[in-house]
Amino acid sequence: MAMSMKECCEDIVPKGYGIYLQAGNTYYYLYADISGSSDKVYDGGDVIIDTVPLESGVSIQSVNPASPLSINFNPPDPTTTINGDSTITDCTITLSVSSQTKNIYVNKFGMVEIQ
């Protein structure tokens, strides 16, 4: 979405798009960054495009560097910003189901790795 610079929200072209996660939730948000601020994190002025449920029994156990976590993608490159801080180079999202966990790593280039 960030690369295509799609319109949303009554013909507004967002500054970017993002993913917003909180530890303990069983879903995450896809949002359009339209708030007018340059903080590059999800806030009350942004628009939730979709609430994406995780598979049954799966929850977000933790996020690092901090919960809640915003991963924001800004066109045209797109530039990836984690929690609004351009110095953060990566983040880890830990998902759990029963007693098993999986780690998802995202770096500032938008690359995603699952272990």
- Total-model pTM: 0.86
So what's the pLDDT on residue 3? 45
So what's the pLDDT on residue 76? 76
Backbone φ and ψ for 53, nearest 5 degrees, come out as -75, 145
Contact present, 75 and 56 (Cβ < 8 Å):
no
Nearest-angstrom CA–CA distance, 44 and 55: 27
pLDDT tens-digit series, residues 19-78: 999 999 999 999 998 876 667 889 888 889 899 999 999 999 999 999 999 999 887 777
